[in-house]
Amino acid sequence: MRIIDIAAATSFALLSLAVIITLNPLDVRRQTQSLVADSLATATLLSYLTSHDLHYLATSDLSQICESIATWNNPSRALDIAVNGIPCNPSPERGGYSGHSEFTILLPERSVEVDAWAR
């Protein structure tokens, strides 16, 4: 009878550890923060695209587009645009951002890639 008790207690302990590892609250918190950051990056990208229409992106010079995104960058979010593979910011520092969203527009004369990052 004692062996059955030890086996049952061991099984319960292993099951409890498996549940604790699976339902780790820290991991859920990280996933939630990542989802929120991705949503903020997407919102930033969509806000920019709403305020600057396709005609602007299709006809403006790279320097004008780069100036337009300068006002959108702050410590909690960042935008970068590349026209025909030439980015506004050739070496962006994106280490602290956990959210990312991107959008590519293929036009007859050019391709425009819009990237957004958020914390």
What range defines the domain where residue 70 resides? 2-118
pLDDT, tens digit, 9 for 90 and up, residues 15-43? 776 777 677 666 667 777 888 889 999 99
User: How many structural domains are present in the chain?
Assistant: 1
Q: Would you say the pTM of this structure is higher than 0.85?
A: no
Burial 81-114 (b: 16+ CB within 10 A, else e): bbbeeeebbeeeeeeebbbbbeeeeeeeeeebbb
pLDDT, tens digit, 9 for 90 and up, residues 47-106? 999 998 888 988 999 999 999 998 888 888 889 999 999 999 876 666 778 888 999 999
